[in-house]
Amino acid sequence: MIVSLPRHLLALLFGLLLSLPGAAQRLPLRLLLTTDVHMQLLDHDYTLDRPSPQFGLARTASLIEQARAEAPNHLLFDNGDLLQGSPLGDWLAHQGNWPPAQLHPAYRVLRALQVDAANLGNHEFDFGLPFLRRALQGVPFPVLSANLLDSRSGKPAFKPAVMLERRWRDEQGRVHRLRVGVIGLAPPRSVALLREQLLGRLRTQDAVTSARHWVRQLRRQGADLVLLLAHTGLEPAGQTARPLDDNVALALAELPGVDALLLGHAHGLFPSPAYAQHPGVDVEHGRIGKVPAVMAGRWGDHLGLIDLLLERRHGRWQVRESRSVLRPVWDAQQQRARAEPATWVAPLIQQEHEATRAWVQQPVAQSRVPLHTHFAQLLDSAALQLLNEAQLAQLDRELKGSRWEALPRLSAASPFKTTSLHGQAADIPVGPLALKHAVDLYPYQNRFKALKVNGAQLRDWLEMVAGQFRTIDPAGPAEQELLDPDYPSYNFDVIDGVRYAFDLTQRPRYTSYGQRRPDGGQRVALLEYQGQPVRPEQEFVVATNSYRAEGGGRFAALQGAEVVAEGRADSRQVLLDHMRQLGTVSTVPDQNWWIQPVPGTRLVFRGLAEAARHLEQTPGVNTLGQPEAGLQRFSLGGR
């Protein structure tokens, strides 16, 4: 016989069953992530001096408000590289522009967003350790880093981890107290490159080693969940993380006791099809191994979300289900904004914003030629020619009267803003040049340096550079993609003072991690100095920057190379001084490097549609089809 009970008795019985030992209790929790904001606090392009709908923490703030309204149980994190990367950050770093009594504007905005915890990235240290220590004064939430240690004591130089205690309601409305452990991790190699800024006061520890230790510590302290707030990306497909590597998400996911990964540093988007070929990665649900993960781009262009369903059995909370998604502020397909800026952000930093706008408008020189980086990875460009000429002029001053003065002098410069890396390019029209244009061409806080290398090292340097390109099959399709999306354009050094050519039918010699490939070929098909082949023992002095000179990019050829000049000025100041000295810029690329044609093959790449207006001055590059979502397919050579 079936007995029917009243509804209120059924509810009471259900509640009693859930309260029994071993009965499951389920609680939803949403994790929200911003990362690599790089001082793009507002949706403002300081180079063009106008709002942009494609980025800005002010727009991300609107997505955060919406995401919180949908999920009462939530935590918000920022994953570092917050304090540097835009003219606003540069202006604040100048002495006197930021009153000591005020909270740094970036942390002012994060405070208003009610961030639960933040992490330190490598660019937090670009303006020096004293600047960072001052910026952290008065921050009302924990700012973490577990693997940056005091050089003398060996103890963490910053708060390594935090235990957040929160009260949340489960699916039945009952309140539970959860203890969430959060560990901050910095990219050790990138921080270690900033030796001058740190002055020996910090040393780095391997991120995986640090994480393993602190996960155990937090578990011993009774953490219900442990999250890694890690300024790190995924290792390139097919490569295993090594000690002190920057990108170690796959290795972190293998650590026992980790419930979620909140990633950054690589400016990538996870989950996304870009990582579909990585073994052990589930881009549909957003997991690395079995661990939920998210990485939210850069400049506030995406909000990262991980939705967890926690289940409590036998007194312990575990992740039963998860799903990671990204919410963009800009719809690239529809070419429209997905989020408007939160109106409360601009008033918080209005004074600093207006001062920055005025600062970047300072006149510097005039230009008779357009300076852009749309095709700088494919052909010699006036923009990189100007950078290299500035560095060579500085090198002449540095070497005068030294024992290196008689050696041949070269210069290496990279395109920092490209479609392949940022979805943007430097694009400076003919006319007045202002400080903002120097920032556009050189956005980083590198310092001028020069290295002594021999011909064998120089050739290997260029072999590493040539890893940017895919291998072209002469017997393959009529159209073949040219650029490797895993290779950052800031590692594509154009070296002036020699002539060279790349043969892309050969396999690359190095991986993007600087590891020698067992099947690697020889892509540098020609390398000449003053019309003669470069000899392996021939010596050169090459002007470059502190990032490359101190190991940035893992150029195996430069390991142990002697530093023969260290300028006091940063690399952008070298460019500014050169522009001012010229007065009028008329730089023309000398076409000292090129990609050898592959008969019967059209080399294809994607760039911004607006780049097409420069084609009259760019022989050999043509458009293919019609623009789509602001992008245009271009070809180099072909049938």
Q: What is the mean pLDDT of the chain?
A: 92
- For residues 343 and 492, state if they share a domain: no
- For residues 343 and 368, state if they share a domain: no
Tokens of residue 473, six digits: 């099959």
Tokens of residue 635, six digits: 């070809």
- For residues 368 and 229, state if they share a domain: no
- For residues 83 and 212, state if they share a domain: yes
Q: How distant, in Å, are the alpha carbons of 28, 183, 294, 310 from that of 322?
A: 10, 20, 11, 9
- For residues 375 and 344, state if they share a domain: no
In a domain, 10, yes or no: no
Last residue of a domain, one of 301, 328, 354: 354
Q: Give residue 278's pLDDT.
A: 87
- For residues 370 and 289, state if they share a domain: no
Tokens of residue 328, six digits: 């963009």
Which CATH number do you get for residue 279? Answer: 3.60.21.10
Half-sphere exposure of 426 (CA within 13 A, CB side): 26
In a domain, 631, yes or no: no
Last residue of a domain, one of 354, 387, 417: 354
- For residues 200 and 270, state if they share a domain: yes
Q: Give residue 505's pLDDT.
A: 97
Nearest residue to 605 (alpha-carbon basis) of 581, 582, 577, 636: 636
Q: Give residue 1's pLDDT.
A: 39
In a domain, 329, yes or no: yes
In a domain, 446, yes or no: yes
Q: Indicate whether 21 pLDDT > 50.
A: no
Q: Indicate whether 5 pLDDT > 80.
A: no
Which CATH number do you get for residue 583? Answer: 3.90.780.10
* pLDDT tier, 559 (very low <50, low <70, confident <90, very high otherwise): very high
Q: Is 561 left (phi over 0), alpha (psi -120 to 50) or beta?
A: beta
In a domain, 27, yes or no: yes
Domain that holds residue 565: 364-607
- For residues 349 and 369, state if they share a domain: no
Q: Give residue 638's pLDDT.
A: 52
In a domain, 339, yes or no: yes
Nearest residue to 602 (alpha-carbon basis) of 561, 563, 567, 633: 633
Last residue of a domain, one of 292, 325, 354: 354
In a domain, 202, yes or no: yes
Query: What is the mean pLDDT of the segment spanning 45-51?
Result: 93
> Which residue would you say has higher pLDDT here, 3 or 534?
534
Q: Give residue 236's pLDDT.
A: 75
- For residues 290 and 430, state if they share a domain: no
E strand or H helix at 577: helix 571-582
383: Cβ contacts below 8 Å, ≥ 6 apart:
371, 372, 373, 376, 415, 426, 428, 441
- For residues 278 and 427, state if they share a domain: no
CB of 345 closer than 8 Å to CB of 319: no
Q: What is the CA angle 627-631-636, rounded to 5? A: 90
* pLDDT tier, 200 (very low <50, low <70, confident <90, very high otherwise): confident
Overall number of domains in the chain: 2
- For residues 393 and 267, state if they share a domain: no
357: Cβ contacts below 8 Å, ≥ 6 apart:
46, 49
Nearest residue to 595 (alpha-carbon basis) of 623, 620, 572, 562: 620
In a domain, 34, yes or no: yes
* pLDDT tier, 302 (very low <50, low <70, confident <90, very high otherwise): very high
Q: Give residue 20's pLDDT.
A: 46
Distance between CA atoms of residues 241 and 553, nearest Å: 15
Query: What is the mean pLDDT of the segment spanning 91-106?
Result: 90
Q: How distant, in Å, are the alpha carbons of 364, 398, 561, 578 from that of 394?
A: 18, 6, 20, 8
Q: Give residue 6's pLDDT.
A: 53
* pLDDT tier, 193 (very low <50, low <70, confident <90, very high otherwise): confident
In DSSP notation, 310-333 reads EEEETTEEEEEEEEEEEEESEETT
Tokens of residue 519, six digits: 């099947």
Query: What is the mean pLDDT of the segment spanning 390-415?
Result: 96
- The angle that helices 105-112 and 129-136 make with each other, rounded to 10 degrees, is 30
Q: How many CB atoms lie within 10 A of CB 12?
A: 12
> Which residue would you say has higher pLDDT here, 86 or 16?
86
Q: Give residue 10's pLDDT.
A: 39
- For residues 339 and 401, state if they share a domain: no
